Amino acid sequence: MDVEKTIEFLLETGARHDREMGELKRQMSRLIGVVEGLAGHVSKIDGALAALAEAQIRTDARLDRVAEEFRDRDRILDDRINKMVSAIGEISRPLPAN
């Protein structure tokens, strides 16, 4: 067994391992930075979604109020039309003959 070649192999393997670990640490560091950036974006998106949900709730409430106002006005208009039709019917009846 050649001790020098074994030591050289172990040193080369250790050096390669150190380089690979250094590269892995750099990649992990970049990955952590990316994940932290994404977490910040997710937080902003969550805030935007919450704001949109609140705006939708307000819009739904406004639409409900407007729809109720239209129903009220529709009932008033129906009543006026019915009164007008009745009045026209009264006016258009022939007068009794004397």
Q: How far is CA 80 from the centre of its chain?
A: 45
Give the integer Cα–Cα distance in Å for 17 and 29: 18
Quick one: pLDDT at residue 92?
Answer: 84
- Please indicate, yes or no, whether the overall pTM of this predicted structure exceeds 0.85: no
For residue range 10-35, what is the model confidence (pLDDT) as tens digits? 999 999 999 999 999 999 999 999 99
Q: Is a pLDDT exceeding 80 seen at residue 96? A: no
Give me the mean pLDDT over the 51-76 stretch.
97
- Write the DSSP assignment of the chain as a string of letters: --HHHHHHHHHHHHHHHHHHHHHHHHHHHHHHHHHHHHHHHHHHHHHHHHHHHHHHHHHHHHHHHHHHHHHHHHHHHHHHHHHHHHHHHHHHSPPPP-
